[in-house]
Amino acid sequence: MGKDVTKRAETAVTVVDFSPINPVPKEAKTPLFDWHNPNLTFDDVDPANYFSMQDLQVWLKERGADGRVLNVTGASTEWVFDPEKGEATGKWKPCLRFAETETMLVINHTRKNQLKEMTHSPFLRDWAKVGHIVIRPDIAEGHAQIVIDRAPMTDEEDEQLNEALFN
């Protein structure tokens, strides 16, 4: 019989720390993610500009979730366009900004109505104060799209939101 020449694979020591190795310029924005989080995803490090149905569905599937809870920190108006068709195809669109991600949510007709119902207001300034929301894929107004629901709140949180919106 021949000699056993099977090599054992060496065990690599893996350090899960995504801190930058190279010097970071002073002008670099502070990231919204934790460098020491061993569960960082590509989307945490390089988020898309705007939520898409496909990206949201993948995010939810990876986490076994039905919806994503986000804390609204502001509203802005952005020049939104299809990158495949070029900037000239764009339109100014209202968008929501969030504490958890740099990815914004474009406000379409359906989401406008949902935000008006939640805030009892047609004003972007009030939509920016809506607090925690849940976004999820659904059928609304006959189309598959991302919809918005108010996140479940305690009575105290509901009172604080109403005070912020109506005072």
- Indicate the SS3 state at residue 61: helix
Per-residue pLDDT of the chain (167 residues; tens, 9 = 90+): 556 555 555 665 555 666 777 888 888 877 767 777 777 777 777 778 999 999 999 999 999 999 999 999 999 999 998 888 888 888 999 999 999 898 999 999 999 999 999 999 999 999 999 999 999 999 999 999 999 999 987 777 667 766 766 66
State which amino acid sits at residue 56.
L
Amino acid occupying residue 106: V
Res 123: pLDDT: 94
Pairing outcome for strands 143-150 and 105-106? unpaired
Q: What pLDDT score was predicted for residue 14?
A: 58
What was the pLDDT predicted at 66? 95
Q: Minimal CA–CA distance to 101: which of 36, 142, 44, 23?
A: 44
Domain ranges across the chain: 45-166
At 119 the pLDDT is 94
Write the DSSP symbol of residue 23.
Answer: P
- Residue 70 sits at the vertex; the CA angle it makes with 105 and 162, to the nearest 5 degrees, is 100
Pull the structure tokens for residue 7: 């090599």
**Alpha-carbon span 76 to 106, nearest angstrom:** 10
Q: Give the pLDDT confidence score for residue 129 in this predicted structure.
A: 93
Please give the angle made by the CA atoms of 14, 19 and 23, to the nearest 5 degrees: 130
pLDDT at 142: 92
- The pTM for the full model equals 0.71
Residue for token pair 């970071």: 24
Q: Which pLDDT does position 6 carry in this prediction? A: 58
With a CB cutoff of 8 Å and minimum separation 6, the contacts of 92 are 77, 78, 79, 80
